[in-house]
Homo-oligomer: A and B are copies of this chain.
Amino acid sequence: MSPKPSELATLIAPVADGLKRMRETIAHELREESPAVREMVEHVGRFQGKQLRAALVLLSGEATSNTTDEHASIAAVVEMIHLATLVHDDVLDGAEVRRRVACVNHRWDNQTAVLLGDFLYARAFAVSTDLSSRLCSRVLAEATRRICVGEIEQAAGRYDFDAKQERYEWVAGAKTATLYAAACELGARYPGGRDEMGSRMRQFGWDLGLAFQIIDDCLDLTATQAEIGKSVGTDVEDGKVTLPVLWVYARASEAEKAAIRDAYTRPGLVDRVGELRRVCKLDAGVEYARRRAESLITSAIASVRELPESPARTSLENIAGFVLERSW
C-alpha cells in the first residue's frame, strides 16, 4: 500500500509550527493591491501541496541543532521559488491539469503564467534579501540558475534516445535535486560557518531530490491522472526520454528502437505511453529506474543516520522512504 498524503503530514509534524509560520509569511509577502494579481495568487495558493521542500529546511535545521528565527522565512523563500518553477513549468509542458486545479496557463494564458512566475521569483528574492545573512540569497540564486540551466539542457536534449544515464541524472538533478539540496543545506548551515554539516545535508537533499525525480518520471509512465492528480504521459508527449526508456532503448534491437522512436514521434498518435508499452519491455525499464532511486535513498538515509537521534532525524529518514513509496 502506498502511503497517503495524511501520513506525510504525520512525518512533518515535528516542524508543524514552523510550517504554519512559513505559510503566514508567504500569504503576507504575496499580498498585493492589484485585483488581477490577488486573484492569481489565491488561485496558485491551491497548488501548495506537500510543502516538502519547506519542511526539509526546517527538519534539516532541527536535526542538526541549527534552528534560527529566520528558518521559517527561508522555508517560505524556498516554497515561493518552487511555486514559481511550477507556474513556469506549466507554460513549458502545456500540462493541462496540476493537482486537480486548473493550471495558470489553462485558466488564464501563457502570458499571465510567465508574469505570475516572475512575480513569485521577485517576491522570493525580496524576502531573502531582507534576511540577516546573505547565505540564503546566494544559495538560492545559484540554485535558480542551476534549475534553469538543467531545464534548458533538458529541452535541448529532447528525443535524444542515445543519452547516457549520467547525462539524464545531471539534468534530472539540476532541475529537481538542486532545490532539495539547497533547502537541506540552508536548514543545516544558515546563517553560515557550518560548512561540513551543510555539505552533508546538501548531499542528503541531492540524493533525495534525484530519487524524487526518478520516481516522478516512472509515475509519468505508469500512473493515471486520478492517482497522482496531474497530467500523465507528458514526458513522452514532450519528447523527454527518461531513465526507464533510456534503459530499455539501450538494450533494444534495431527494430524495437525504431518502434520506440515511432511511439514518441508518430503524428496524431493519442496514447503514446500505451504504444510504448506495446512495443518494448517498458516495465523492465521502470523496475531498473526504481532500483536506482532505491539506491539513492539508501545513500540519503546513510547521510542522516550519523546525526544524533531526534524526532526530526526520524522524519528525514521516513520522508526518504516515503519518496520511494509515493504514488502522488
Contacts and interface: CB of A to CB of B under 8 A. Distances in A.
Interface of A: 32, 34-37, 40, 88, 91-92, 108-112, 114-119, 121-123, 125-126, 129-130, 134, 137-138, 141-142, 144-145, 147-149, 151-153, 155-156
Contacts of A119: 145, 148-149, 152
A153 B117 CA distance: 15
Contacts of A112: 152, 155
A109 to B, nearest CB: 8
A130 B137 CA distance: 9
A36 B153 contact: yes
Given A149-B37, A156-B36, A91 B114 contact: yes
B141 A125 contact: yes
Given A125-B144, A126-B138, A129-B138, 11 more contacts: A32-B149, A34-B153, A36-B152, A36-B156, A91-B110, A114-B117, A115-B152, A116-B152, A121-B144, A129-B129, A129-B137
Nearest to A84: B118
Contact of A114 (B92, B126, B144): B92
Contacts of A40: 152
Q: For chain A, what secondary structure do more than half of its interface residues adopt (helix, strand, loop), or is it mixed? A: helix
9 contacts: A37-B149, A92-B115, A110-B110, A114-B114, A115-B148, A118-B147, A122-B144, A125-B144, A130-B138
A129 B142 CA distance: 11
A116 B145 CA distance: 10
Nearest to A39: B156
Contact of A141 (B36, B122, B148, B153): B122
A325 B256 CA distance: 65
Could you say which of A129, A138, A153, A156 has the most chain B C-beta atoms within 10 Å of its C-beta?
A129
A107 to B, nearest CB: 13
A88 B112 CA distance: 11
A152 B87 CA distance: 14
A234 to B, nearest CB: 13
A125 B144 CA distance: 10
Contacts of A110: 91-92, 110
A89 to B, nearest CB: 9
Contacts of A121: 118, 121, 144
Nearest to A35: B156
Nearest to A116: B152
Nearest to A85: B118
Given A92-B111, A114-B92, A129 B152 contact: no
Given A125-B125, A129-B138, A137-B129, A144 B156 contact: no
Could you say which of A40, A110, A114, A149 has the most chain B C-beta atoms within 10 Å of its C-beta?
A114
